[in-house]
Amino acid sequence: MPRAVIENMRDLPLPDFSDYFAEVEASLYADRIHAGLPMEFSRGCWWGERSHCLFCGLNGGSMTYRQKPAGQAAAEMIEMSARYGSSRIEAVDNIMAIDYLEKALPHLTALPEKLAIFFEVKANLKRHEVEKLAAAGVRWIQPGIESLDTRVLKLMRKGTTSAHNVQLLKWCRQYGVRVSWSLLWGFPGECDAWYAEMASWLPLLHHLQPGPAVRLRYQRYSPYHYTAEKHGLKLLPAAPYRYVYPLSERDLSEQVYYFEDSEDHDVGGHFTPRDENRPGLNAVAKGIDAWLKAWRGPTFSMLSMQDNGDEIIVEDTRAIAIEREHRVRGLEREILLAADEGSPETRLCDRPGAANVMQGEIDEAIANMIARKLIVRLDARLVGLALWHPYTPILPLTAFPGGYLDRRSTPVALPRE
């Protein structure tokens, strides 16, 4: 139904959670509930205003981005934390405001006791920006990674690349920031060979945080929904709705949020994805499963390095490791330093240690570093995979800023009167 749209976010009142905390305090489960505070600082999506991701239907009401001033956002986090005695803040925004990095985070960094904050962010953050997030208490992020192949990312209009996404996972592991992300598949126009190529280097990332592989779902309000024919789609309400609502196909189509492509249904109407028999995609699915398994603990593999000025010493405990320790000198050291920044391969000759070196020698050194599984070539860039030692330990899942329910202990029942 039509409703008023908030244009000035600064005028919104703070949420009142006092009833909730009163109930928690009186509950038998009080000592098991570690509450987080959901807070809203913006609405809409500033990236979606520029380039609406084809699969996203989150802002059907209004894509227009509106935000609270950075200083106000920081002050409200501090006030709410003090009011309810919880340092956990979960921002429910679709995307963090651009100027919060420079204008909101410094207020939080200055706190003697840091908050623990969650934000959704765009995935093309740079190293110093992830460092700023971590220093301000942003312990957990949900970036729009969505894929590790640039061609798939272009299909969905994400505005990022494979190199960006791998670098972000690396910097988050470096600074101890947890990441929630998933690898989406099933986009119209994607090629199975892309997935076969991706699967070949996924084992290189086992020291970084994994995300599950998830099949694309078509959402109402997304470009895939309102321009379905343009993408060769004939969308039907997702099959489970038929078991819930006794409505005609037409009535369902006007009400539901999730859709499926008619090409994915057999004559009987059963959901059978047309692209389920794809060797490349199957290889990625197995690769993701292995990656997730490697992160079930009790310890995580690591690829880290230290530079003494003459050589870089690399420690590698990944299952795919060629050697436990590498000592990298000379031209290969320069390549590893350049790859740490994700430098374009064409700029290697600009580095001091690579000046006046024959291209053949550079190519040989690059090939050797790739063979040692210390760098990967993505989007005509060399991307270094090692973290710098020391790095910040990764947080446990119980540290989620949105809150945590401890299921290990059993509440004591009160005696009946």
Q: What is the pLDDT of residues 203-255, one digit of tens each?
A: 999 999 999 999 999 999 999 999 999 999 999 999 999 999 999 999 999 99
Cβ contact 269:239 at 8 Å: yes
* Domain limits, the chain: 17-148+163-180, 303-388
In sequence order, what are the residues at sequence separation of 6 or more whose Cβ sits closer than 8 angstroms to the Cβ of residue 167? 127, 342, 383
Considering the entire predicted model, what is its pTM?
Answer: 0.93
CB 411 within 8 A of CB 149: no
Residue 265's pLDDT is what?
A: 53
- Measured from the Cβ of residue 377, the count of other Cβ atoms closer than 10 Å reads 16
pLDDT of residue 224: 97
β-strand pairing of 258-261 with 235-237:
antiparallel
Q: How confident is residue 275, by pLDDT bands cut at 50, 70 and 90?
A: low
pLDDT for 371 equals 98
How much is the pLDDT for 409?
56
Can the peptide bond before residue 390 be classed as cis, meaning omega within 30 degrees of 0?
Answer: yes
Summarize pLDDT for 75-117 with one digit per residue, the tens: 999 999 999 999 999 999 999 999 999 999 999 999 999 999 9
For residue 272, pLDDT beyond 70: no
How sure is the predictor about 170, in pLDDT bands with cuts at 50, 70 and 90? very high
The predicted pLDDT at position 312 comes to 98
Asked if 171 contacts 127 with a C-beta cutoff of 8 angstroms, the reply is yes
pLDDT average, residue stretch 5-14: 89
How confident is the model over 335-363, as pLDDT tens digits?
999 999 998 988 877 777 676 788 899 99
- Helix (H) / strand (E) containing 340: helix 330-340
